Structure 1
Amino acid sequence: MFLMTRSAKRKQQQAASMRNQLQPGSGVRTIGGMYATVKEVNEDTVLLDAGPGVELLFAKNAIGAVLTDDEYNRIVHGIEHDLKSDADVVPDDASSLTETDEPADAAAASDAPSVDLGKKDEAEEPSEDAEAVKADADEEPKKTDGGSDAK
């Protein structure tokens, strides 16, 4: 019991110190999930700039997290900070992922035998089961009087 209250108290102290270190210009996330920029910090309140012409007054306790500039820009503006400039770029299509030494026509004409899955025969000739199902579907359903068999 003592350890649980100690860890909870430590978390509260960390959150309070984070809120006391708020400075104008830093990006924050409120406990409600709104992202904004700190415009002004008062004793118990914080004035947030949520967009052009939108200023909101929040209690300091409503600030859930102070974000780094890179994280704030990535979330709010969609700007990715490029940590690896030499990183491979993934193409939009998969054509470059299946590169082979030989062209597609040569691959089709290779010595490997083709595998026949037998689906052409089934598609062309309907089976007896398919004809029976089709015949049953054409018949009208039987009407019942709602007796115990209908349950």
Structure 2
Amino acid sequence: MKSLVSLLPFVVLIGAMFLMTRSAKKKQAAAVQMRDEMQPGAGVRTIGGMYATVKEVHDDTVLLEVAPGVHAIYAKNAIGAVLDPVEYNRIVHGDDEESLDLDGTVVPDDASSLTEADATASTSDKSGIDLGKKAEDAETKDAGSGKKSEGETNGEADAK
């Protein structure tokens, strides 16, 4: 019985290693399948983080266009992800289809156009409260009554 209890942690460890190895093999097989299904014209991201367009696919290499007219040969294993065209255009060209509504309304990039009307309305409104003046009146009333203001310490109050 004692030998069974002492072997239990090793059995659990071997089982965990088996499960981790199995999931890693599945990920590796999915990556190989993705690279094998890669077609010319697809947008890709390399494992180094560079975005490019596939021009030619060979057995172990891929010809990528990294900039207009600039081609480079990469190993297939260097391809980290094959991107769908919408995502590739959003990342590389800055095309953002989500900023346009279906009716053609353009959504602004910032909120300045939304707040300009509010700012002009508040400056033209003269019935607003002047907070600076009320703060000065409160200080003079406190000084005249001998009461301690918010910023004063005991030493300052004794000096008065």
TM-score band (shorter)?
0.5 to 0.7
Distance 1:12 1:91, change over 3 A: closer
Q: Which amino acid aligns with 1:104?
A: S
- When residues 95 and 23 of structure 1 are mapped into structure 2, their CA distance, relative to the original with a 3 A threshold, is closer
Cα displacement (A) at 1:106: 5.6
Distance 1:11 1:109, change over 3 A: same
The equivalent of 1:84 in structure 2 is: 101
More helix by share: 2
1:71 matched residue in structure 2: 87
Q: Distance in 2 between matches of 1:54 and 1:61?
A: 21
Which ranges of structure 2 fall in alignment gaps of 5 or more residues? 1-16, 140-160
Residue 14 of structure 1 pairs with residue 30 of structure 2:
yes
Residues 2-151 of structure 1: matches in 2 within 5 Å?
2-82=18-98, 84-86=101-103, 89-90=107-108, 92=110, 94=112, 96-97=114-115, 99=117, 103-104=121-122, 107-110=125-128, 113-116=129-132, 117-118=135-136
Q: Distance in 1 between matches of 2:48 and 2:109?
A: 37
Structure-2 separation of matches of 1:91 and 1:31 = 31
Equivalent residues, number: 116
Deviation at 1:85, TM superposition (A): 2.8
- State how far apart, in whole Å, the 2-side matches of 1:59 and 1:99 are: 56
- Scaled by the length of structure 1, the TM-score of the pair is 0.64
Report SS of the residue matched to 1:64: strand
Secondary structure, aligned partner of 2:101: coil
Identity, % of aligned pairs?
53
Q: 1:70 to 1:91 in 2, by over 3 A?
A: closer
| Structure 2 CA distance for aligned equivalents of residues 24 and 114 of structure 1 | 67
C-alpha change, 1:98 and 1:33, in structure 2 (3 Å) is: same
- Distance apart, 1:79 and its partner CA: 1.5
TM-superposed deviation, 1:115 = 2.1
Kindly provide the amino acid, as one letter, of the partner of residue 85 in structure 1. Answer: L
Q: Secondary structure at the match of 1:8?
A: helix
Partners in 1 of 2:106 and 2:57 — Cα distance? 43
- What RMSD over aligned residues (CA atoms) do the two structures have, in Å? 2.7
